[in-house]
Amino acid sequence: MYFRYFSFSLLVVIVAMATAEKSVAQAMLLKNPPLHYICYRATGPIIVDGKADEKCWKNAPWSEEFIDIEGPAMPAPLHSTRIKMLWDTSYLYIFALMEEPHLWATLTERESVIFYDNDFEVFIDPDGDTHNYYELEINAFGTEWDLMLTKPYRFGGLPITAWNINGLKSGVHLNGTINQPSDTDTSWSVELAIPLSIIAETADSLAIPVDGKQWRINFSRVHWKLEVKDGKYVKAINPATGKPFPEYNWVWSPQWAINMHKPEYWGYLQFSESIAGTETITYKPEPDFEIKALMRELFNRQYQYSRENNRFAKNINQLVKPGEFQAMEAILMEATETSFVISASAGCTRYRWYLSHDSRIWKSESNMPVEILPR
């Protein structure tokens, strides 16, 4: 859609699961696929108070423990973090339990940059195209910041802070006393009810989920190193820089970089019509995950090439070493010095996957722009 007025060099690449050398990002994506969570149906009303003491919450499975944003090779988080999810016809429910010996918050005005405090964050991309996705942050005071991103920041994405999750319900429960350094606290928890009708505005066909539907989602916990001065918590200062130590970033599904705005690495949320606690549903991997991961490998290599050469590669041989990939799938790439689109067949269908230079990935019969006329 971005290439109508350019001349192209059409490149056909035969690629497959690599058995030779790969870039770090690709090895992580294929060898360590994003995590997944089966979201079961809730039963009965849920009071959003941060406690999650309803029976259906007790039956919902816990997620894996959060890890460092860069992956398991990094030091383990100082404190435990886990989440649960449920849904019904109106809401996606999220519950997060965070171990915390020093409850602290400062921000009380909505739409503040909440990650300047310790916080819990939710990122949702209903259609998985990495564009037009949502972010929600909340601190231990219950102060919220919700926004929509048109695309990732590194590709010129704009944060639309005026956008709100209308109808959002949130509750925070503190197991301890906030901003009191004289004692030791235990934990804090966040409970959210996010209206599906709002989030589904960027979903396929604007539809709320059905059984088996998958959305991309991830969670982050920002944690600052604190010290006590004059009886109050303050951010600890690094004597080498004179500034606060960098915050910790602990996440559910690893991002492999200190950047939550890489939606291609977020986990998978699979909706199930089964009631929580009645049966165990099997996760169904995305059918085209492998070929999309290979497209993402070429995407990453294009940007590595552009950093070194100040332009994109026009010839696939500039990105792939001879014999590096075993033949399996045909991938096409249309490229100019300043833009590109990578495409591949979407299974045994007439559709193709398209991945553009601004990271958007979508499935269509054609990459040609379509003019939608009024009826």
Residue 271 or residue 27, greater confidence: 271
CATH number of the domain within which 250 lies: 2.60.40.1190
pLDDT tens by residue, 230-284: 999 999 999 999 999 999 999 999 999 999 999 999 999 999 999 999 999 999 9
Last residue of a domain, one of 275, 301, 324: 275
Residue 352 belongs to a domain: yes
Instruction: Indicate whether 270 and 316 sit together in one domain.
Output: no
Token code pair at residue 122: 């939710």
Instruction: Give pLDDT, residue 374.
Output: 58
Which residues make Cβ contacts (< 8 Å) with residue 12, sequence separation at least 6? 316, 330, 331, 332
- C-alpha to C-alpha distances, 1 to 9, 133, 154, nearest whole angstrom: 16, 20, 20
Residues 242 and 304 in one domain: no
119-138: average pLDDT: 97
DSSP letters spanning 167-202: T-EEEEEEES-TT-TTS---EEEEEEEEEHHHHGGG
Q: How far is the C-alpha of 198 from the C-alpha of 206, rounded, in Å? A: 9
Q: How many residues does the chain have?
A: 375
Residue span of the structural domain in which 63 resides: 34-275
Indicate whether 204 and 230 sit together in one domain.
Answer: yes
Residues 302 and 257 both lie in one domain: no
In a domain, 139, yes or no: yes
Pairing state between β 91-99 and 119-125: unpaired
The answer for residues whose C-beta is within 8 angstroms of residue 230's C-beta and 6 or more apart is none
Q: In terms of domains, do 89 and 144 share one?
A: yes
pLDDT 10s digits, 109-128: 999 999 999 999 999 999 99
Which residue in 18, 29, 4 sits closest to 257, CA to CA? 29
User: Which among 249, 275, 301 is the end of a domain?
Assistant: 275
Q: What percent of the chain has pLDDT over 70?
A: 88
* 165 and 39 belong to one structural domain: yes
pLDDT digits (tens, 9 = 90+) for 327-354: 345 788 999 999 999 998 888 778 999 9
| Number of domains forming the structure of the chain | 2
Amino acid code (one letter) for 320 = V
Q: Is residue 282 a part of any domain in this protein? A: no
**Same domain as 74, residue 49:** yes
Residues 345 and 241 in one domain: no
